[in-house]
Amino acid sequence: MKTFYLTTPIYYVNDKPHIGHAYTTILADVLTRFHRNTGEDVFFLTGLDEHGQKVQQAAEKRGVDPQKHCNEMAPRFLELWENLHIQNDDFIRTTEKRHVDVVQHILQKVYDKGDIYEDVYEGLYSVSEERFITEKEAKSGEFRDIKELKEKNYFFRMSNYQQTLIDHIKNNSGFIQPEHRKNEVLGFLKQPLEDLCISRPKSRLGWGIELPFDSDYVTYVWFDALINYITAPGYNVNEENFNKYWPANYHLIGKDILTTHSVYWPTMLMSANIPLPQAIFAHGWWLIGESKMSKSLGNVVDPLGLIEEYGVDSVRYYLMREMVLGQDASFTIESFIKRYNSDLANDFGNLLSRVSNLLKKFFDGKIPQDEDDSAEGLDVKSKAVETVAMVWEKIEVMRVNEAIEITLQFVRSINKYLETKAPWKLAKEEPEIAGKVLFTAVEALRVSAVLLSPIMPNRTQTVLETLGATESGLDWGGLTSGIEIKLHDPLFPRIDIKKLENSVKNHGEKKELKNVITFDEFQNIELKTAKILKVEKVDGTDKLLKLQIKVGDKQRQIVSGIAQFYSPEELVGKMIVVVTNLKPATIFGIKSNGMLLAAKNGKALTLMTIEGKKVSSGMRIY
């Protein structure tokens, strides 16, 4: 039997799950349900990443032991998966013994092979990212908490596998998907690949899996976490099961964790002599409106709240329909409700109410005898067959949103067919024809419900129960004549716009109240005028400029990401506005003491300058 092994990232337990985590897991659930429906032997894995600094810090913040913290967080994820109707086959937690054993086994194997060596590392470390970063990365301006660190550590000879990895990516066109992500990784691999620091001294970071060859160290969280994908199917324990499912068909990931999955992971597997996964698929990012979801912006969408308000299936539907796999998508309550009302309430839900009302009115609520053999009737039938084939083609190439749209087009065509044939008019004069039309419409509705069942398992089940066809499949002809249809509540009651206002309040999107600051809070932000004295480019990056500015009688240095918008020459002499009490940061190895203000809209940026005869540097702005 054909197998299909799909994984999600394992989620950090530093915080409760949000809509981004829910998205990847729903996507995995939808894909695996489609594959299961075709009779494949599916293994769907999700789980939790419980080690490392992020989790350790979250536990410290709560004043509990990290294991206890993990044990308390895990049920939150499990509860969400249950509420989202996720049918995963396994749920792995990296603190489980089965996983610790495999990680130590792999470490020993790679060590014995000579691919792990000891070295003193002196360089830049990003505390927030929890890893050593290259000069180049530091210069990108994307890392904030950067510090110099000198430490003895263990390194994995990732560099040894650079060329083999490049060849593998080039020879296996579907290994990294979509295409633009593959190119991104190949671009990254044009630079010499550095070895990977895979240990953390216990004295600095104790929460991790102990190295089997040095008990003073724990394993770097990524070296540990990635291995979950082979632990779960039974690597080194249940070889038969492992060989059945590995190599995985897909590792589904967000674009944020592309490098770890397509560079670290394959090279680790190469070193351990384990076959590589068949494909890594990176999806885009859910933005809230235009912005990234973040706690500090107060715009984190809680999936449980949404489910409570609109039902699990509409949340699943929206997330799957709205995101083009591979690109970013914008979550707004407005678009959610628009989508719900048009696709679910109007097109799909209405079709069920319509046909069941007609059957009740004219046919004692029973499924009629024959199908419509007129040209229009046969057209619906052939469209059904075509739709089934097209949907599967789209699913196989991970175009879930297109698969849904094709199904909805079919649903709309059934509604149109009913309007054209108007069985309510035929019912009195030509009841037999009216019956045939209704049979065809109901059968088409049944096929669309089966097609949508991986996306909306709950509501489509109601449709199939109503039609007495819960056991039917995708082949045309699954209805049983004479069966009495069951009563049902509206599938998707229309949402009225007033609800929107409430949900905006409840779910944090545009949380106006959260954005309000008190006058005292505003007073805490020290904005001052500053004169630019000297500007230099920062070597090795085309984004950053180093500015010497004068604030009153004091001089200070700031680093700013405006090099693509201003040349050093045009800046000198300008009077700008600077936040002067921002905590100093080291950007690209250079101290930055303050931040200038600028107006930005997409790719355009204009510096905020201030002019006037009475303006001098160091004036406070209120």
By CB under 6 A, name the binding residues for ligand MSP.
9-12, 20-21, 23-24, 49, 225-226, 253-254, 256-257, 285-286, 293
8 Å CB contact between 229 and 248: yes
- Judged by beta carbon, residue 49 or residue 372, the one nearer ligand MSP is 49
Q: How far is the CB of 212 from ligand MSP (least distance, A)?
A: 20
- Judged by beta carbon, residue 21 or residue 446, the one nearer ligand MSP is 21
Cα–Cα dist 187/194, whole Å: 15
Cα–Cα dist 438/445, whole Å: 10
Q: How far is the CB of 404 from ligand MSP (least distance, A)?
A: 18
Q: How far is the CB of 322 from ligand MSP (least distance, A)?
A: 12
Q: How far is the CB of 286 from ligand MSP (least distance, A)?
A: 3
Query: DSSP letters along 598-615, please?
Result: EEEETTEEEE-B---TT-
Q: How far is the CB of 23 from ligand MSP (least distance, A)?
A: 5
Cα–Cα dist 342/345, whole Å: 6
- Judged by beta carbon, residue 93 or residue 383, the one nearer ligand MSP is 93
Cα–Cα dist 334/323, whole Å: 15
Q: How far is the CB of 423 from ligand MSP (least distance, A)?
A: 45
Please, what is the angle between helix 457-466 and helix 431-452, to 10°?
Answer: 160
Beta strands in 270-357 (DSSP E): 280-283, 286-288, 291-292, 329-331
- Judged by beta carbon, residue 319 or residue 426, the one nearer ligand MSP is 319
- Judged by beta carbon, residue 401 or residue 529, the one nearer ligand MSP is 401
- Judged by beta carbon, residue 67 or residue 616, the one nearer ligand MSP is 67
Q: How far is the CB of 528 from ligand MSP (least distance, A)?
A: 35
Q: How far is the CB of 258 from ligand MSP (least distance, A)?
A: 9
Cα–Cα dist 124/247, whole Å: 35
- Judged by beta carbon, residue 20 or residue 234, the one nearer ligand MSP is 20
User: Which residue in the shown chain puts its C-beta closest to ligand MSP?
Assistant: 20
**DSSP-derived pairing of the beta strands 286-288 and 527-537:** unpaired
- Judged by beta carbon, residue 161 or residue 286, the one nearer ligand MSP is 286
- Judged by beta carbon, residue 333 or residue 442, the one nearer ligand MSP is 333
Phi, psi of 150 (to 5 degrees): -125, 120
CB burial class (10 A; 0-12, 13-18, 19+) of residue 355? buried
Q: How far is the CB of 274 from ligand MSP (least distance, A)?
A: 15
Cα–Cα dist 318/401, whole Å: 10
Q: How far is the CB of 260 from ligand MSP (least distance, A)?
A: 7
- Judged by beta carbon, residue 75 or residue 473, the one nearer ligand MSP is 75
Residue 289, sorted as left (phi over 0), alpha (psi -120 to 50) or beta, turns out to be left
Tokens encoding 156: 């994995």
Cα–Cα dist 461/311, whole Å: 14
Cα–Cα dist 485/332, whole Å: 37
Least Cα distance to 594 among 559, 543, 554, 544 occurs for: 559
